[in-house]
Amino acid sequence: MSHAVPTGRTGVTAAGGFRAAGITAGLKASGKPDVALVVNDGPRFDAAGVFTSNRVFAAPVRWTRQLVSTGPGVDGVPGGAIRAVVLNSGGANACTGPEGFDDTVATAEHVGSVLGVPATEVAVCSTGLIGERLPMDLLLSGIGAAHGALADEGGLDAATAIMTTDTVAKTAQVSAHGFTVGGMAKGAGMLAPGLATMLVVVTTDAVSDPATLDAALRQATRVTFDRLDSDGAMSTNDTVLLLASGASGVTPPVEDLTTAVTAVCADLAAQLLADAEGATKEIAIEVVHAVTEDDAVAVGRSVARNNLVKTAFFGQDPNWGRILAAVGTVPETVVFDADLIDVSINGVQICRAGGVGEDRSLVDLTGRKAHVLIDLHAGTETATVTTNDLSHAYVHENSAYST
Amino acid sequence: MSHAVPTGRTGVTAAGGFRAAGITAGLKASGKPDVALVVNDGPRFDAAGVFTSNRVFAAPVRWTRQLVSTGPGVDGVPGGAIRAVVLNSGGANACTGPEGFDDTVATAEHVGSVLGVPATEVAVCSTGLIGERLPMDLLLSGIGAAHGALADEGGLDAATAIMTTDTVAKTAQVSAHGFTVGGMAKGAGMLAPGLATMLVVVTTDAVSDPATLDAALRQATRVTFDRLDSDGAMSTNDTVLLLASGASGVTPPVEDLTTAVTAVCADLAAQLLADAEGATKEIAIEVVHAVTEDDAVAVGRSVARNNLVKTAFFGQDPNWGRILAAVGTVPETVVFDADLIDVSINGVQICRAGGVGEDRSLVDLTGRKAHVLIDLHAGTETATVTTNDLSHAYVHENSAYST
């Protein structure tokens, strides 16, 4: 994978057939860029998406989920075709009632109008504070500006315009077997299972169809974004889109497409973890010898979400007792015997057979990256869940967010 | 309820038939009291207990759970009889393997020996750091000292000796209908559903039997300790015991006993919440118009555990969007329509029908107590879950705990 310096055709414009832009519409008080536009110039417009499983979801999620519903489509319009994605930071448009949904529809209609495409093929994503209407005059004029700024090399600008508390723009791309996959992401903190508070757009110039894209994207997110668990809170706006232009003329085997999409998602997920709000540690929790992969994920997630574990890592304290206590809270269906579990932190097996192992003072937790290995001694399956520590800066950032 | 100044016959010695002591055995580096002994002088020794549901549980939990198993009993010994409880702070004796369990048995045997009662009627509770063996020489000699200090007015000393990060000793008592119920608790932070990291001993001079005590205690804990949710982490050592001496000669109706035990547990739970590690807010989350009480508890708990909600309260930010997003993460089985939910904070309905309500600037969050009212508009059931905010001090205390 080329994790390139992000200039030129990068991120969502790395693949042929895509243009993008990111501009300042004035939605953010800071005056930073806040509207991004990604346009698929074809020749194909196949698309798929995965969305938050939160039962409280934002108006743009309601809209965009309809666009990519494969199968019979919605209101007679075949699902799975997206010609453009408009994204704004500076407001989530969540919990804004019917008026908020009207705003989303008006946004899609305006993009459709300036591009000359059906509004029903324009995806909308929003991120920011919940419970406030978007300033539609600013947003609609911003869309005009973004349209004027569309460029083959606009990937970095688009990635920059969707940042909220992110400190860096996040892009990735990979080329192989004659096609390219690229993408952008925003999200820092609030990463959660079943997706993060996160907007991701992945593009490819491969030739594909909505069902294949859907399968590839679900497999990719399952082992990447779904296994980030920064603070266990799931957003109202989480959206991951995959768009295919077919511009390369190459129709890859589904395995190759899945591999490339997964590589881009993994790269973006690692960037999200590295930029999580106020974190001082990136913690990989590897669970081995579980009976099922789901068991391994459940154990990893329980540890990843435990505030006592997370504060211990902030304190550079290899407190394996808290890890074991967190393992003990998983559902009864997860198979393990507490008296068999081994736990290593950064290579030191400080817990052996559920009891005291090597001296905890041997563990060096001064670095940013930490590795926890939990051996359940129950089966053959493995999974890794990643998270951050719980720091003073996390509390600071999240206690001051809307004020 | 008399929430008395804790002198004289208070806490576990408020009820007739009980003596207690709290002394310094040297388990804590601080030199503070660390061993408590509670003795039931009868004439009856009926008992019940509820314990952590964590699948990783400490040696003393394994031991004491056997003692109060009602029904056929364990190893031919009828369950539900406890003549003494020995409790230590300064070490949890969790994740200490077979040797740790041997230590618990030796502790019970030593108490049995000095009191002249069967070891199988001596409950053991421990609290402190996980994963380290107890210094048995200090503990056993401490038991001798505690035995010598047993007193009718020892309730406060016992409550003091079980403190860990608690800043105050916690006792409560109530007398009515000719019998008394009293109790003590330790626990600060780490409060969690299905019990907190918490040791509680409740005593009564009522005449009862193990099955009745078990029913009364389960009902009491279900609506008190089980609805504290300070940081969502469940301990390896949580134990709540109820002992009845029968010294009053009064056999109350089960309803009266349940009411009194619930009152004492509610008082102790409120003290735990008030003393939670590093908290600046006590937050009551009242969920109304749910289809079932379980639904209401699930919604309340989801909000109570959400770090983004908790940091917002620390920042005195009435961020109702985070509350709604937390509600949205409950299981599919919980019935609600997101477009109907109202949310009030301290009496101001800042969210109405899932959207913007009154101006958030009207909400005053400067006080220590906060009240969140979530109206699901789905049914007739109600529950209240209480929690704390997530503060800098929480991170500080919990990142430095074992070092």
A304 lies in a domain?
yes
For residues A401 and B384, the model is more confident at: B384
Residue B13 phi, psi (nearest 5): -105, 15
HEC-encoded secondary structure of chain B: CCCCCCCCCCHHHCCCCEEEEEECCCCCCCCCCCEEEEEECCCCCEEEEEECCCCCCCHHHHHHHHHCCCCCCECCECCCECCEEEEECCECCCCCHHHHHHHHHHHHHHHHHHHCCCHHHEEEEEECCCCCCCCHHHHHHHHHHHHHHCECCCHHHHHHHCCCCCCCCEEEEEEECCEEEEEEEECCCCCCCCCCCCEEEEEECCCCCHHHHHHHHHHHHHCCHHHECCCCCCCCCCEEEEEECCCCCCCCCHHHHHHHHHHHHHHHHHHHHHCCCCCCCEEEEEEEEECCHHHHHHHHHHHHCCHHHHHHHHCCCCCHHHHHHHHCCCCCCCCCCHHHCEEEECCEEEEECCEECCCHHHCCCCCCEEEEEEECCCCCEEEEEEEECCCHHHHHHHHCCCC
Q: Quick: pLDDT tens for A33-42.
A: 999 999 999 9
The answer to whether the beta carbons of residues A354 and A323 sit under 8 Å apart is: no
Helix (H) or strand (E) holding A315, with range, is none
Same domain (yes/no): A260, A378: no
Q: How far is CA B243 from the centre of its chain?
A: 15
ipTM of predicted assembly, 2 dp: 0.83
First and final C-alpha spacing in chain B: 41
**Side chain identity, residue A364:** D
Phi/psi class of residue A216: alpha, beta or left (left: φ > 0; alpha: ψ in -120 to 50)?
alpha
Given B219, B251, B272, which residue is the final one in a domain?
Answer: B272
Question: Tokens for A377?
Answer: 């001694």
Same domain (yes/no): B128, B214: yes
Given A240, A274, A308, which residue is the final one in a domain?
Answer: A274
Please check the confidence at residue A313 and state whether its pLDDT lies above 50.
yes
Given B272, B305, B326, which residue is the final one in a domain?
Answer: B272
Rg of chain A over Cα atoms, rounded to whole angstroms, equals 22
Q: Is A197 annotated as a binding residue?
A: yes
Pick B355's closest partner by Cβ from A95, A320, A328.
A95
A5 lies in a domain?
no
Q: Please give the pLDDT value at position A289.
A: 98
Q: From the candidates B64, B127, B197, B262, which is the catalytic residue?
A: B197
A1 lies in a domain?
no
A295 lies in a domain?
yes
3-state secondary structure of A211: helix
Return the CATH number at A390: 3.10.20.340
Q: Please give the pLDDT value at position A70.
A: 59
Same domain (yes/no): A292, A376: yes
Q: Please give the pLDDT value at position B195.
A: 35
Per the structure, the count of domains in chain B is 2
B403 touches chain A (CB under 8 A): yes
Residue reference for tokens 């973006």: A268
Helix (H) or strand (E) holding B169, with range, is none
B146 lies in a domain?
yes
Alpha-carbon distances of B193 from A390, A391, B281, B374, rounded to whole Å = 21, 24, 19, 19
Active site includes B280? no
Same domain (yes/no): B97, B204: yes
Mean pLDDT for chain A overall? 90
Same domain (yes/no): A302, A349: yes
Enumerate the residues of chain B whose CB falls inside 8 A of the CB of residue A281. none
Q: Please give the pLDDT value at position A191.
A: 42
Supply the range of the domain harboring residue B121. 11-272
For residues A240 and A308, the model is more confident at: A240
Bridge-based pairing of strands A122-126 and A84-88 is parallel
Mean pLDDT, residues A368-373: 97
Rg of chain B over Cα atoms, rounded to whole angstroms, equals 22
Enumerate the residues of chain A whose CB falls inside 8 A of the CB of residue B374. none
B376 touches chain A (CB under 8 A): no
Pick B54's closest partner by Cβ from A96, A328, A403.
A328
Enumerate the residues of chain A whose CB falls inside 8 A of the CB of residue B306. 232-233
State which residue of chain B sits closest to A237, comparing Cα positions: B325
Question: Tokens for B94?
Answer: 């969790």
Q: Is A99 annotated as a binding residue?
A: no
B308 lies in a domain?
yes
Q: Please give the pLDDT value at position B133.
A: 93
Q: Quick: pLDDT tens for A80-136.
A: 899 999 999 999 999 999 999 999 999 999 999 999 999 999 999 999 888 889 999
E-assigned strand segments in B14-162: 18-23, 35-40, 46-51, 84-88, 122-126
Q: Is B403 annotated as a binding residue?
A: yes
Same domain (yes/no): B128, B158: yes
The answer to whether the beta carbons of residues A173 and A183 sit under 8 Å apart is: yes
Q: From the candidates A13, A70, A96, A197, which is the catalytic residue?
A: A197
Judged by CB atoms closer than 8 Å, whether chains meet at B306 and A56 is answered as no
Same domain (yes/no): B260, B292: no
Please check the confidence at residue B239 and state whether its pLDDT lies above 80.
yes
Question: Tokens for A5?
Answer: 């310096």
Window B:264-283, CB contacts with A under 8 Å: none
Question: Which of B54, B55, B313, B348 is most worth mutating to test chain A (most A CB atoms within 10 A of its CB)?
Answer: B55
Q: Is B329 annotated as a binding residue?
A: no
Q: Quick: pLDDT tens for A147-205.
A: 999 999 999 999 999 998 888 999 999 999 999 999 999 986 544 333 347 899 999 99
Same domain (yes/no): B26, B132: yes
Same domain (yes/no): B349, B247: no
3-state secondary structure of A281: coil
B335 touches chain A (CB under 8 A): no
Q: Please give the pLDDT value at position B213.
A: 96
Residue A119 phi, psi (nearest 5): -60, -30
Same domain (yes/no): B251, B349: no
Q: Quick: pLDDT tens for B32-71.
A: 999 999 999 999 999 999 998 888 999 999 999 999 985 5
B156 lies in a domain?
yes
Alpha-carbon distances of B55 from A338, B45, B95, rounded to whole Å = 7, 29, 12
Judged by CB atoms closer than 8 Å, whether chains meet at A95 and B400 is answered as no
Return the CATH number at B170: 3.60.70.12
Q: Quick: pLDDT tens for B101-157.
A: 999 999 999 999 999 999 999 999 999 888 889 999 999 999 999 999 999 999 999
Q: Cα(B364)–Cα(B394) distance, rounded to whole angstroms?
A: 23
Q: Quick: pLDDT tens for A257-281.
A: 999 999 999 999 999 988 876 789 9
Q: Is B186 annotated as a binding residue?
A: yes
B277 lies in a domain?
no
Name the nearest CA neighbour of A232 among B294, B326, B391: B326
B121: β partners: none
The answer to whether the beta carbons of residues B170 and B133 sit under 8 Å apart is: no
What is the percent of chain B with per-residue pLDDT over 70, rounded to a whole number? 91
Same domain (yes/no): B367, B301: yes
Q: Quote the Cα angle for A175-A178-A180, to 5°.
A: 35
- Name every residue whose Cβ is closer than 8 Å to that of residue A119 and which is 6 or more positions away in sequence: A105, A108, A109, A111, A112, A113
Enumerate the residues of chain A whose CB falls inside 8 A of the CB of residue B132. 356
Enumerate the residues of chain B whose CB falls inside 8 A of the CB of residue A328. 54-57, 234, 236
Same domain (yes/no): B293, B220: no
